[in-house]
Homo-oligomer: A and B are copies of this chain.
Amino acid sequence: MRIAVIGVGLIGGSIALAARQRLGAEVIAWDADPAALEEALSLGAIDRAAPSLQDAVHGAEVAFVAVPVGALPDTLADVLKAAPADCAVTDVGSTKRAIVAGQADQRFVGGHPLAGAETAGVAHARVDLFEGSTWYLTPTPRSSGLLYERLYRLLGALGARPEAIDPETHDATLALVSHLPHVLANALVTRAFDELEAGAAPLPASGPSFRDATRVAGAPSAIWTDIYMSNRDALVAQLDALLQHLQTVRGRLADADAAAITAWNEAAAGYRRRLMEDEVTGQELVELRAAVPNRPGVVAELALELGRAGVNIADLALHPAPDMSEGVVALWLPGPDAAGQAQEIIEKLGHPVFRP
């Protein structure tokens, strides 16, 4: 199978690697940046660096367009113009409505792998980047069934779980679970900085709530401005719904309505548990917290012992005391059995464990 990859960043590079190593496919690539293309070649991610986009897609059975959302329309048009009549063409953009609405070509199916946003560049490409993760596909009534099937099977062979979704639902969902949290993180750090500028006291060695809430603040503009722009109406809709909810909460606070605030907080606790349970391959994650001295090696010992016992950690967060001398380790375990096992192990190490 011959595969064209246009744009060899983290995503394009990982597609190329996986296609070569898992399928033995021949991967021809092109990138607007010759250095990236050369790096992809030297890393063994691709078979051949094409001298042009047109050359790269020549004779391809599937073409991936893995460029930033802003560059996507023009690049996609070029690819569709040059690609064979029986070539499946897809993209990997984080928003889907605009690009899908703009393409009537039967060879095109929009795509979005939910992977890799934490890094950038072909240097971080991994053959298993998509293993087990959702890869949204947005076929339309115009899409060729034959080419859709080819693409679907190829993604499965790359290790992903392809899932069809309509572009509207895709963009609304991503606006809520990804784009909105980024906006709030930016807003919180901006507000904190405004307070400092306005002469407020220096912020204290602040708690984990502030750090967690602002972890994704200032994500790379080269990627995120495109995302914000291309999904701005869905994001504005989600933002409006959130603003309305916050106005309600504001009213309850201003009215000192303790009963309503308690009910709201209790509901949030229940929602979070249920959302966490639904997350991550549908496993019910169980949270444990362990109080540990924060010296080098403690988290290591804890994780090592869990590892030895075959207990995998779905997620963990270390909340250190301001001087880092001690802390609370929050662990999320996949299911009650794993959690029970983990609790026993951690308590044997001498650390008190509690379930929040």
Contact = CB atoms under 8 A, between A and B. Distances in A.
Given A132-B323, A217-B271, A206 B279 contact: yes
Interface in A129-145: 129, 131-134, 136
Contact of A268 (B189, B246, B322): B189
Interface in A187-228: 187-196, 200-219, 221, 224-225, 228
A316 to B, nearest CB: 5
Interface stretch (A56-64, A81-89, A120-128): A120-128
Contacts of A133: 205, 321-323
A256 interface: yes
Interface string A307-350: 11111111111111111111010100010000000000000000
Q: From A172, A221, A298, name the one whose CB has the most chain B CB atoms within 10 angstroms.
A: A221
B124 A218 contact: no
B200 A321 contact: no
B264 A186 contact: yes
Interface string A290-308: 0101111111111111111
A293 to B, nearest CB: 8
A239 to B, nearest CB: 5
A182 interface: yes
A320 B184 CA distance: 22
Q: From A123, A172, A214, A323, name the one whose CB has the most chain B CB atoms within 10 angstroms.
A: A323
A316 B318 contact: yes
Interface residues of A, number: 144
Contact of A265 (B224, B254, B309): B224
A148 to B, nearest CB: 19
Contacts of A186: 249, 264-265, 268
A24 interface: no
B236 A291 contact: no
B275 A254 contact: no
A202 B278 contact: yes
B299 A181 contact: no
A172 B198 CA distance: 13
B289 A189 contact: no
A50 to B, nearest CB: 26
A172 B209 CA distance: 16
Interface of A: 114-115, 117-119, 121, 123-124, 126, 128-129, 131-134, 136, 165, 169, 172-173, 176-178, 180-196, 200-219, 221, 224-225, 228-229, 232-233, 235-236, 238-243, 245-247, 249-250, 253-254, 256, 258, 261-262, 264-275, 278-281, 289, 291, 293-326, 328, 330, 334, 352, 354, 356
Q: Which 9 A-B pairs have the closest CB atoms?
A: A132-B323, A218-B269, A297-B307, A300-B304, A296-B307, A300-B303, A186-B268, A181-B213, A193-B271
Given A131-B325, A134-B204, A296-B308, 12 more contacts: A115-B322, A124-B291, A128-B326, A132-B325, A181-B209, A181-B213, A184-B184, A211-B279, A212-B212, A221-B265, A299-B299, A299-B303
29 contacts: A119-B328, A123-B354, A133-B321, A173-B201, A178-B209, A178-B210, A180-B191, A184-B213, A187-B249, A189-B275, A194-B241, A196-B275, A206-B279, A208-B216, A212-B212, A212-B213, A217-B272, A221-B266, A221-B269, A229-B261, A236-B254, A243-B243, A296-B308, A300-B300, A300-B303, A300-B305, A303-B303, A314-B320, A316-B317
